[in-house]
Protein backbone atom coordinates (compact mmCIF):
# COMPACT_ATOMS: atom_id res chain seq x y z
CA UNK A 1 0.00 0.00 0.00
CA UNK A 2 1.62 3.18 -1.22
CA UNK A 3 -0.15 5.27 1.37
CA UNK A 4 2.00 3.82 4.16
CA UNK A 5 4.81 6.01 2.95
CA UNK A 6 2.54 9.07 3.01
CA UNK A 7 1.58 8.32 6.60
CA UNK A 8 5.22 7.90 7.54
CA UNK A 9 6.28 11.04 5.76
CA UNK A 10 3.69 13.20 7.49
CA UNK A 11 4.62 11.74 10.88
CA UNK A 12 8.32 12.10 10.19
CA UNK A 13 7.84 15.76 9.33
CA UNK A 14 5.88 16.17 12.52
CA UNK A 15 8.70 14.74 14.62
CA UNK A 16 11.18 16.97 12.84
CA UNK A 17 9.00 19.99 13.55
CA UNK A 18 8.41 20.79 9.90
CA UNK A 19 4.90 19.58 9.37
CA UNK A 20 2.54 21.56 7.17
CA UNK A 21 -0.77 22.85 8.52
CA UNK A 22 -2.86 21.65 5.65
CA UNK A 23 -2.64 18.64 3.41
CA UNK A 24 -4.27 17.87 0.12
CA UNK A 25 -4.49 14.13 -0.39
CA UNK A 26 -5.35 12.94 -3.86
CA UNK A 27 -6.49 9.36 -3.80
CA UNK A 28 -8.18 6.63 -5.80
CA UNK A 29 -10.13 5.56 -2.73
CA UNK A 30 -11.57 8.31 -0.57
CA UNK A 31 -12.85 6.05 2.22
CA UNK A 32 -9.62 4.13 2.51
CA UNK A 33 -7.68 7.39 2.54
CA UNK A 34 -9.99 8.74 5.23
CA UNK A 35 -9.19 5.70 7.40
CA UNK A 36 -5.52 6.41 6.95
CA UNK A 37 -5.99 10.03 7.95
CA UNK A 38 -7.77 8.86 11.10
CA UNK A 39 -4.75 6.72 11.85
CA UNK A 40 -2.47 9.72 11.37
CA UNK A 41 -4.72 11.70 13.72
CA UNK A 42 -4.33 8.98 16.34
CA UNK A 43 -0.59 8.82 15.91
CA UNK A 44 -0.26 12.58 16.27
CA UNK A 45 -2.39 12.76 19.38
CA UNK A 46 -2.36 9.47 21.25
CA UNK A 47 -0.64 9.93 24.61
CA UNK A 48 0.37 6.26 24.59
CA UNK A 49 2.35 6.38 21.36
CA UNK A 50 -0.31 4.84 19.23
CA UNK A 51 0.99 1.79 17.45
CA UNK A 52 -0.93 -0.25 14.91
CA UNK A 53 -3.93 -0.31 17.18
CA UNK A 54 -3.81 1.58 20.43
CA UNK A 55 -3.30 -1.17 22.98
CA UNK A 56 -3.77 0.96 26.03
CA UNK A 57 -7.15 0.26 27.55
CA UNK A 58 -7.00 3.57 29.40
CA UNK A 59 -6.55 5.58 26.25
CA UNK A 60 -9.61 7.76 26.11
CA UNK A 61 -8.40 9.61 23.12
CA UNK A 62 -8.32 6.65 20.76
CA UNK A 63 -11.64 5.48 22.19
CA UNK A 64 -13.19 8.87 21.46
CA UNK A 65 -11.77 8.89 17.95
CA UNK A 66 -13.10 5.39 17.30
CA UNK A 67 -16.51 6.42 18.55
CA UNK A 68 -16.35 9.55 16.38
CA UNK A 69 -16.73 11.60 19.54
CA UNK A 70 -13.54 13.57 19.90
CA UNK A 71 -14.51 17.27 20.01
CA UNK A 72 -11.22 18.35 18.46
CA UNK A 73 -11.71 16.19 15.38
CA UNK A 74 -14.30 17.33 12.86
CA UNK A 75 -15.04 15.61 9.58
CA UNK A 76 -17.03 17.45 6.96
CA UNK A 77 -18.61 15.65 4.02
CA UNK A 78 -20.70 17.09 1.21
CA UNK A 79 -24.44 17.30 1.58
CA UNK A 80 -26.15 16.73 -1.77
CA UNK A 81 -22.89 17.15 -3.67
CA UNK A 82 -21.85 20.37 -1.90
CA UNK A 83 -19.84 21.16 1.20
CA UNK A 84 -22.06 23.77 2.75
CA UNK A 85 -21.06 27.01 4.41
CA UNK A 86 -22.96 26.15 7.61
CA UNK A 87 -20.65 23.20 8.20
CA UNK A 88 -17.57 25.35 7.64
CA UNK A 89 -18.89 28.04 10.00
CA UNK A 90 -19.55 25.38 12.64
CA UNK A 91 -15.94 24.26 12.25
CA UNK A 92 -14.55 27.81 12.51
CA UNK A 93 -16.55 28.35 15.65
CA UNK A 94 -15.51 25.06 17.31
CA UNK A 95 -11.85 25.56 16.51
CA UNK A 96 -11.67 29.17 17.71
CA UNK A 97 -10.42 27.84 21.04
CA UNK A 98 -7.38 25.67 21.67
CA UNK A 99 -7.93 21.90 21.89
CA UNK A 100 -8.55 20.52 25.36
CA UNK A 101 -8.28 16.76 24.91
CA UNK A 102 -5.65 16.51 22.22
CA UNK A 103 -2.63 18.30 20.85
CA UNK A 104 -4.38 19.42 17.71
CA UNK A 105 -7.72 20.57 16.46
CA UNK A 106 -8.04 18.59 13.27
CA UNK A 107 -10.54 18.95 10.48
CA UNK A 108 -10.95 16.56 7.60
CA UNK A 109 -12.74 17.64 4.43
CA UNK A 110 -13.96 14.61 2.55
CA UNK A 111 -14.41 15.13 -1.20
CA UNK A 112 -12.72 18.52 -1.04
CA UNK A 113 -13.52 19.09 -4.72
CA UNK A 114 -17.09 19.70 -3.57
CA UNK A 115 -16.20 22.85 -1.64
CA UNK A 116 -17.95 25.72 -3.34
CA UNK A 117 -16.51 29.22 -3.50
CA UNK A 118 -18.15 30.57 -0.35
CA UNK A 119 -17.23 27.52 1.76
CA UNK A 120 -13.67 27.61 0.44
CA UNK A 121 -13.36 31.33 1.15
CA UNK A 122 -14.59 30.85 4.70
CA UNK A 123 -11.99 28.15 5.23
CA UNK A 124 -9.16 30.31 3.93
CA UNK A 125 -8.93 31.88 7.38
CA UNK A 126 -7.34 28.68 8.66
CA UNK A 127 -5.05 28.37 5.69
CA UNK A 128 -3.88 31.97 5.52
CA UNK A 129 -3.19 32.45 9.20
CA UNK A 130 -2.24 28.97 10.31
CA UNK A 131 -1.93 28.36 14.02
CA UNK A 132 0.20 25.55 15.34
CA UNK A 133 -2.67 23.66 16.86
CA UNK A 134 -4.92 23.39 13.82
CA UNK A 135 -4.41 20.82 11.09
CA UNK A 136 -6.49 20.29 8.00
CA UNK A 137 -6.74 17.29 5.67
CA UNK A 138 -8.44 17.72 2.33
CA UNK A 139 -9.26 14.44 0.59
CA UNK A 140 -10.14 14.36 -3.08
CA UNK A 141 -10.16 12.02 -6.04
CA UNK A 142 -8.99 14.83 -8.32
CA UNK A 143 -6.87 17.71 -7.10
CA UNK A 144 -7.53 19.69 -10.28
CA UNK A 145 -11.13 20.12 -9.19
CA UNK A 146 -10.26 21.57 -5.82
CA UNK A 147 -10.58 25.36 -5.74
CA UNK A 148 -7.12 26.72 -6.44
CA UNK A 149 -6.93 29.04 -3.42
CA UNK A 150 -7.24 25.93 -1.23
CA UNK A 151 -5.03 23.75 -3.38
CA UNK A 152 -2.16 26.21 -3.45
CA UNK A 153 -2.05 26.44 0.33
CA UNK A 154 -1.85 22.72 1.00
CA UNK A 155 0.97 20.27 0.89
CA UNK A 156 0.09 17.71 -1.74
CA UNK A 157 0.32 13.95 -1.31
CA UNK A 158 -0.85 11.10 -3.50
CA UNK A 159 -2.43 8.11 -1.79
CA UNK A 160 -2.88 5.30 -4.25
CA UNK A 161 -4.29 2.05 -3.03
CA UNK A 162 -4.39 -0.03 -6.19
CA UNK A 163 -7.11 -2.11 -4.70
CA UNK A 164 -7.69 -5.29 -6.63
CA UNK A 165 -9.61 -4.18 -9.66
CA UNK A 166 -11.86 -7.20 -9.31
CA UNK A 167 -13.11 -5.73 -6.01
CA UNK A 168 -14.43 -2.73 -7.82
CA UNK A 169 -15.86 -4.33 -10.90
CA UNK A 170 -19.32 -5.74 -11.00
CA UNK A 171 -19.43 -8.33 -13.77
CA UNK A 172 -22.92 -7.39 -15.00
CA UNK A 173 -21.95 -3.78 -15.35
CA UNK A 174 -18.67 -4.76 -16.99
CA UNK A 175 -20.60 -6.72 -19.60
CA UNK A 176 -22.60 -3.59 -20.45
CA UNK A 177 -19.42 -1.56 -20.58
CA UNK A 178 -17.82 -3.96 -23.06
CA UNK A 179 -20.92 -4.06 -25.23
CA UNK A 180 -21.06 -0.29 -25.31
CA UNK A 181 -17.39 0.23 -26.08
CA UNK A 182 -17.42 -2.37 -28.81
CA UNK A 183 -20.61 -1.12 -30.34
CA UNK A 184 -19.49 2.47 -30.59
CA UNK A 185 -16.24 1.23 -32.05
CA UNK A 186 -17.93 -0.75 -34.78
CA UNK A 187 -20.99 1.35 -35.25
CA UNK A 188 -21.18 4.39 -37.50
CA UNK A 189 -24.53 5.33 -35.99
CA UNK A 190 -23.18 5.47 -32.52
CA UNK A 191 -25.24 8.51 -31.59
CA UNK A 192 -28.33 6.63 -32.61
CA UNK A 193 -27.14 3.72 -30.53
CA UNK A 194 -27.19 6.07 -27.53
CA UNK A 195 -30.89 6.75 -28.24
CA UNK A 196 -31.96 3.20 -28.99
CA UNK A 197 -29.91 1.21 -26.50
CA UNK A 198 -28.09 3.26 -23.97
CA UNK A 199 -30.40 5.88 -22.61
CA UNK A 200 -32.78 3.33 -21.10
CA UNK A 201 -30.06 1.19 -19.64
CA UNK A 202 -30.11 2.89 -16.24
CA UNK A 203 -32.54 5.15 -14.44
CA UNK A 204 -30.40 6.55 -11.69
CA UNK A 205 -27.50 8.95 -11.94
CA UNK A 206 -25.67 6.78 -9.42
CA UNK A 207 -25.95 3.81 -11.78
CA UNK A 208 -24.46 5.81 -14.62
CA UNK A 209 -21.68 6.87 -12.37
CA UNK A 210 -21.01 3.24 -11.52
CA UNK A 211 -21.13 2.31 -15.19
CA UNK A 212 -18.44 4.83 -16.09
CA UNK A 213 -16.37 4.00 -13.04
CA UNK A 214 -16.44 0.37 -14.10
CA UNK A 215 -15.31 1.44 -17.56
CA UNK A 216 -12.58 3.54 -15.97
CA UNK A 217 -11.19 0.70 -13.85
CA UNK A 218 -11.49 -1.84 -16.61
CA UNK A 219 -9.61 0.29 -19.13
CA UNK A 220 -7.03 1.33 -16.57
CA UNK A 221 -6.40 -2.30 -15.83
CA UNK A 222 -6.20 -3.13 -19.54
CA UNK A 223 -3.71 -0.31 -19.97
CA UNK A 224 -1.44 -0.76 -16.96
CA UNK A 225 -2.25 -4.21 -15.65
CA UNK A 226 -2.82 -7.54 -17.27
CA UNK A 227 -6.28 -8.63 -18.31
CA UNK A 228 -7.08 -11.49 -20.57
CA UNK A 229 -10.53 -10.15 -21.40
CA UNK A 230 -9.50 -7.24 -23.59
CA UNK A 231 -12.19 -6.32 -26.09
CA UNK A 232 -11.53 -5.67 -29.78
CA UNK A 233 -11.41 -1.94 -29.47
CA UNK A 234 -8.63 -2.02 -26.91
CA UNK A 235 -6.50 -4.37 -28.98
CA UNK A 236 -6.71 -2.07 -31.97
CA UNK A 237 -6.04 1.37 -30.57
CA UNK A 238 -2.70 2.66 -29.32
CA UNK A 239 -1.79 2.79 -25.66
CA UNK A 240 -1.63 6.56 -25.96
CA UNK A 241 -5.22 6.71 -27.17
CA UNK A 242 -6.25 4.38 -24.40
CA UNK A 243 -4.77 6.74 -21.82
CA UNK A 244 -6.62 9.64 -23.43
CA UNK A 245 -9.85 7.65 -23.22
CA UNK A 246 -9.26 6.97 -19.53
CA UNK A 247 -8.84 10.71 -18.98
CA UNK A 248 -11.99 11.33 -20.99
CA UNK A 249 -13.93 8.96 -18.75
CA UNK A 250 -12.75 10.89 -15.71
CA UNK A 251 -14.21 14.02 -17.26
CA UNK A 252 -17.44 12.22 -18.07
CA UNK A 253 -17.78 11.10 -14.45
CA UNK A 254 -17.32 14.72 -13.39
CA UNK A 255 -20.18 15.78 -15.67
CA UNK A 256 -22.42 13.09 -14.22
CA UNK A 257 -21.42 14.16 -10.75
CA UNK A 258 -22.24 17.77 -11.58
CA UNK A 259 -25.81 16.84 -12.50
CA UNK A 260 -25.28 17.04 -16.26
CA UNK A 261 -27.95 15.78 -18.63
CA UNK A 262 -27.26 12.08 -19.27
CA UNK A 263 -28.36 12.17 -22.95
CA UNK A 264 -25.92 14.93 -23.68
CA UNK A 265 -23.16 13.31 -21.65
CA UNK A 266 -23.47 10.05 -23.58
CA UNK A 267 -23.38 11.93 -26.87
CA UNK A 268 -20.35 13.89 -25.76
CA UNK A 269 -18.67 10.66 -24.77
CA UNK A 270 -19.28 9.10 -28.18
CA UNK A 271 -18.19 12.20 -30.10
CA UNK A 272 -14.98 12.46 -28.07
CA UNK A 273 -14.34 8.73 -28.43
CA UNK A 274 -14.42 8.97 -32.22
CA UNK A 275 -11.15 10.87 -32.11
CA UNK A 276 -9.41 7.80 -30.78
CA UNK A 277 -10.80 5.05 -32.95
CA UNK A 278 -11.16 6.68 -36.34
Q: Which residues bind Zn ion (CB under 5 A)?
A: 46, 48, 50, 54, 59, 62
The residue (of 24 and 135) whose beta carbon lies closer to Zn ion is 135
The answer to whether 182 and 232 have CB atoms below 8 angstroms apart is yes
The residue (of 15 and 57) whose beta carbon lies closer to Zn ion is 57
Closest among 217, 219, 201 to 266, alpha carbons compared: 201
Q: How far apart, in whole angstroms, are the C-alpha atoms of residue 21 and residue 132?
A: 7
User: Shortest Cβ distance from residue 166 to Zn ion (Å)?
Assistant: 35
User: Shortest Cβ distance from residue 161 to Zn ion (Å)?
Assistant: 25
Q: How far apart, in whole angstroms, are the C-alpha atoms of residue 196 and residue 191?
A: 9
The backbone torsions φ and ψ at residue 54, rounded to the nearest 5 degrees and listed phi first, read -55, 120
The residue (of 61 and 253) whose beta carbon lies closer to Zn ion is 61
User: Shortest Cβ distance from residue 46 to Zn ion (Å)?
Assistant: 3
DSSP 81-126: TBB-HHHHHHHHHHTTS--SSSS-EEEEEETGGGB-HHHHHHHHHH
Going from the C-alpha of 155 to that of each of 5, 6, 19, 120, 131, the distances in angstroms are 15, 11, 9, 16, 16
The residue (of 37 and 215) whose beta carbon lies closer to Zn ion is 37
User: Shortest Cβ distance from residue 132 to Zn ion (Å)?
Assistant: 21
The residue (of 37 and 54) whose beta carbon lies closer to Zn ion is 54
User: Shortest Cβ distance from residue 266 to Zn ion (Å)?
Assistant: 50
The residue (of 46 and 253) whose beta carbon lies closer to Zn ion is 46
Q: How far apart, in whole angstroms, are the C-alpha atoms of residue 140 and residue 125?
A: 20
The answer to whether 261 and 205 have CB atoms below 8 angstroms apart is no
Beta bridge partners of 73: 106
User: Shortest Cβ distance from residue 43 to Zn ion (Å)?
Assistant: 9
Amino acid sequence: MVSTSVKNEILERYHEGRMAHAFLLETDDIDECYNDVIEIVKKLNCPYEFQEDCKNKECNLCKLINANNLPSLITISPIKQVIVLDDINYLLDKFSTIPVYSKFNIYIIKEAHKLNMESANALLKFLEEPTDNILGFFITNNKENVISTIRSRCQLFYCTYNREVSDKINEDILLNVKLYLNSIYHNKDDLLYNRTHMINLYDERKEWEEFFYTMFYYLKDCCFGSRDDKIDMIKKISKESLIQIILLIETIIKYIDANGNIDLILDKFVIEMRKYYE
